[in-house]
Structure 1
Amino acid sequence: MEKAALISVSDKKGVVDFAKFLQDKGYRILSTGLTGRLLKDNGVDVIFIEDYTSSKEILGGRVKTLHPLVHAGILFKRDDNEHVETVNSLGAFSIDIVVVNLYPFEETALSTDDLDKLIENIDIGGPTLLRAAAKNYRHVLVVSDPDDYKAVMENFDKIDEDFRKRMALKVFSLTSYYDGVIVDKLSENRFSFFNNSISLKILNRLRYGENPHQEAFFAKNPLFEGLADLIQLNGKELSYNNILDIDVAYRMMLERENTMCTIIKHNTPCGVAENEDVLKAYGNALACDPVSAFGGIIGINTTVNEELAKRIAERFYEVVVAFDYDEKALEILKTKKNLRVIKVPKVKSEFWEIRTVVGGYLIQQNDALSEFKYEVVSKKQPTEEQLKDLEFAFFVAKFTKSNAIVYAKDGMTKAIGGGQTSRIDSAKFAAARAKELNIDLKGSVMASDGFFPFRDSVDFAAGLGVEAIVEPGGSIRDKESIEAADEHDVALIFTHTRHFRH
């Protein structure tokens, strides 16, 4: 029985040299259409599949390799006499090497929404060949990535079952990913999770995870722009924790039209401000908690200019992330050798979130931007300026770890408390932090990401001089909180929308 290598590729990088190598090793070369013609034109002795099977390509080329002579030659067990006799009786080659990569559906999906083009770029024969070869990896070497040609050639005489198994697992990973991209594209990313399909592309291995003993990777959704499309312009390699913190800043940046600066520390804001002057926005955000800002992440939802770059360079930060940078600003920031300078694209702010639990996954829509709707439930009406600050404070609370309390005034945070197991403790923590920094909370507003279970938070805020409060409402004791607001002549509004962030 003659041994053969079947070669049919969309990505033709390096395939001629690889085919010549296999031919020199004594393998007959089976091939299809364009791949076969390329190999033949470059001096490879090719047997076209249609000549091998005596079956012409049909249905416009949709049916080429789906034939018993092909798949029997791949799938038979070389150590099973019955299998060998069957393949011999068919006159089939022993196809010991399968070299296939797939129609470029992902590239097509990124460039068009034309359904006919998408469907024509869904590969059928390729995945079938790959899976057949991978299934029979004990006897067959399957090569699905042109980047593996070199390793195969260098180690050819030492290839063992373990190597073939690794190559087979790469195939199963590829075909799973390929189908996931198809589901994502054709369903417009709406129903993927119900079809048990999540497509992830590993971009790179990170130095480690949250801690040095944890292995970690950075992956992206192949069809949607976002944080995985960042451009690093300066600084050290990004860490797992850097990426988590950048993500919070990035989410906030995507939701605000007003010029904003946010400072993130340990996955939660420690200072946020809006101002037409980006320099003032930065200064006001920093003033909220300059101590916690040390070593933090700066997020700017506009272009970083020269003056802002000078101010940022005066202090120690891990990362600056923005939509763009002036040339002079970039020169200044690059003088800080270790400062990671990141440019991110403006994209839609609605997507799916996935979190792992032991043995499973939680999948939800992200807490996307929604119109600020509210109901005034107190006797006192908030002023227009207070409403602006209430909306801003409630926005910041959405990105602060629950239980979240945010004090704000004049488009800037005055104090932030989050991550406490009691809401009143968050209110007290933020106030105590403000006192340490000599920040007066009198005349500010307060936002809470969840309802007040008791009136104590309203009483406490009023004692600080807070003049207006926003919370979702929905507690069985809402009436008590409203009564407390009226007793203290504080404006209280309910949004009927909760923003927990665990």
Structure 2
Amino acid sequence: MNIKRALISVSDKTGLVEFAKALHERGVEILSTGGTAKTLSEAGIPVRQVSDVTGFPEILGGRVKTLHPKIFGGILADTQDPSHVKDLRENAIEMIDMVVVNLYPFDLVQRQTRDEDVLIENIDIGGVALLRAAAKNHRNVVVVCDPADYKKILNSIDACGDVPLHDRRMLALKAFYHTMRYDATIHRVLSELFASEKYEHLTFERFAHPQKNYEILDSVDERIFKLSNYDENTIGVLIGAILTTIEENLIVGLNSETVVSMVNIRESGGRLCDISGNVVVLRRLNGEMARKLREGTFSTIACEVLEDEDLVLEILKGKKIVRYERVCGKDFEKVEFLTKARQVANLVLRKKVVLKSDSKERIILSTALEFLPTFAVVGKAEDGFYHVELDPSNPTNALKKLLISVPKRFTLVATNGEPDGMFMKTCEENRISVVG
């Protein structure tokens, strides 16, 4: 058993007691602070207070708990470096083998208030530092920021007494991504509050390199909209719509059958009640735009920038508002996005489609491929959903992954790579038509 000591300090206590108990039963000593230590102690789990390790109490109303050399030395030490081992021994610092941390819920708080003092108090300092330190030293420390990973980690410990390096790397990537998004939210909210600049630090880019994949990770206003409770087909279309660059003067309206209608705001004038269907996607939503959209028959509006929030919610009462972010990502985000999107339609839209005599299916397939990396495969299933699969090497691998990962009967596929004989043979065996 290589994991002997874990530091646990979490705001989201989902699965905390069960995870900590399982670690304790496997011989792991648990260090903790504040409310987390109290929760674990009340559950009968032995806990060693961080203040007992550091010899220094929590100060400044809890602002300083873990920021101490005896904590960060134990997290950042490289056990393969003799000088690090010497420093640990001379300063009586114990190694910390696992860091389990999630951050103060700043995003939740900012949805409830714009009180500067409240926002400032909910900016996590020590937690971010702990995650980054553990992620940096992931060869020696397992970093955990998501309760969804608890079970997998326990399974690894039971299987081999440790967490494999590949998994440690993935957990480190997740931690760095988590702190990046956390800082981005703080920057956005404080920028709006202080009115010093516009928040435009992450923008969507088209796929420019076959080894890079830019995907969308949604930021949803959970007070009035939950993806998990909404119609799957509409979610799929919404995901696809967000994958196009939406200009300030363009509204994209979609219904559940993936029929697309687009209206130029500058040219339309008056109320935009001719936009119907389930979803409307636009760049910026404010009071003026809300009045134009008030009579529409759609149920959901997706926007990147929401201004005059209270006024907009009052005008559009009864309609659901989704706030999304356009962000750049690579492999880790791609995997996370595709995992979520695999069971819904992955339809990618562009602003201008020349119909000619092609069928709707061919138009959708060819349009999607324009926005995807090389060697992508787009398939249409019998149920009308469109699914996307990617592979960095060749379209045949992407096709095989698609057929394995999506348990549906496909009728059409298209690829932006060069289909070889094996690609065509696989399609023939599965009675799938290839759109050329």
Deviation sequence 1:215-234 (CA, Å, 0-9, x none): 77443356799999798447
Partner of 1:339: none
Partner of 2:152: 151
Q: Provide structure 1 residue ranges, at least 5 long, that are not aligned to the other structure.
A: 201-208, 255-260, 284-298, 305-320, 325-342, 357-398, 402-502
Aligned length: 287
Partner of 2:73: 72
- Give, in whole Å, the separation in 1 of the partners of 2:321 and 2:234: 24
* Contact 1:127–1:175 (8 Å) recurs in 2: yes
Once the two structures are superposed, the pairs formed by residues 417-428 of structure 1 within 5 Å of their partners are none
Q: 2:236 aligns with which of 210, 235, 238?
A: 238
Partner of 2:82: 81
3-state SS of paired residue (1:5): strand
Q: 1:302 aligns with which of 295, 298, 303?
A: 295
Partner of 2:165: 161
Q: CA offset at residue 300 of structure 1?
A: 7.5
The code of the aligned residue for 2:295 comes to T
Q: Comparing both chains, which one has the higher relative contact order based on Cα–Cα distances under 8 Å and sequence gaps of 6 or more?
A: 2
Partner of 1:220: 218
Partner of 1:127: 128
Kindly report the root-mean-square deviation, in angstroms, between the aligned alpha carbons of the 2 structures: 4.9
The structure with more strand, counted as a fraction of residues: 1
Deviation sequence 1:356-412 (CA, Å, 0-9, x none): 9xxxxxxxxxxxxxxxxxxxxxxxxxxxxxxxxxxxxxxxxxx986xxxxxxxxxxx
Question: Structure 1 residues 223, 251: closer, same or farther in 2, change over 3 A?
Answer: farther
Structure 1-normalised TM-score? 0.47
Q: 1:186 aligns with which of 190, 214, 217?
A: 190
* Contact 1:181–1:199 (8 Å) recurs in 2: no
The code of the aligned residue for 2:45 comes to V
* Contact 1:58–1:64 (8 Å) recurs in 2: yes
Q: CA offset at residue 89 of structure 1?
A: 2.1
Question: Structure 1 residues 282, 17: closer, same or farther in 2, change over 3 A?
Answer: closer
Partner of 2:347: none
* Contact 1:220–1:228 (8 Å) recurs in 2: no
Q: CA offset at residue 16 of structure 1?
A: 1.1
* Contact 1:181–1:222 (8 Å) recurs in 2: no
Q: CA offset at residue 246 of structure 1?
A: 12
- Give, in whole Å, the separation in 1 of the partners of 2:179 and 2:96: 21
- Give, in whole Å, the separation in 1 of the partners of 2:11 and 2:140: 25
Q: CA offset at residue 266 of structure 1?
A: 6.4
- Give, in whole Å, the separation in 2 of the partners of 1:192 and 1:222: 23
* Contact 1:23–1:29 (8 Å) recurs in 2: yes
- Give, in whole Å, the separation in 2 of the partners of 1:14 and 1:352: 29
Partner of 1:45: 46
Once the two structures are superposed, the pairs formed by residues 249-260 of structure 1 within 5 Å of their partners are 252=251
- Give, in whole Å, the separation in 2 of the partners of 1:142 and 1:187: 30
Partner of 2:91: 90
Structure 2-normalised TM-score? 0.54
Once the two structures are superposed, the pairs formed by residues 9-24 of structure 1 within 5 Å of their partners are 9-24=10-25
Partner of 1:114: 115
- Give, in whole Å, the separation in 1 of the partners of 2:163 and 2:174: 16
- Give, in whole Å, the separation in 1 of the partners of 2:80 and 2:262: 61
Q: CA offset at residue 139 of structure 1?
A: 0.7
- Give, in whole Å, the separation in 2 of the partners of 1:277 and 1:222: 24
3-state SS of paired residue (1:153): helix
Deviation sequence 1:430-462 (CA, Å, 0-9, x none): xxxxxxxxxxxxxxxxxxxxxxxxxxxxxxxxx
Q: CA offset at residue 43 of structure 1?
A: 1.2
- Give, in whole Å, the separation in 1 of the partners of 2:234 and 2:175: 34
Partner of 2:337: none
The code of the aligned residue for 1:60 comes to G
Partner of 1:489: none
Q: Provide structure 2 residue ranges, at least 5 long, that are not aligned to the other structure.
A: 277-291, 302-317, 330-349, 353-436
- Give, in whole Å, the separation in 2 of the partners of 1:227 and 1:246: 23
Q: CA offset at residue 162 of structure 1?
A: 1.3
- Give, in whole Å, the separation in 2 of the partners of 1:187 and 1:40: 40
Q: Highest Rg: 1 or 2?
A: 1
- Give, in whole Å, the separation in 1 of the partners of 2:326 and 2:150: 37
Question: Structure 1 residues 355, 70: closer, same or farther in 2, change over 3 A?
Answer: closer
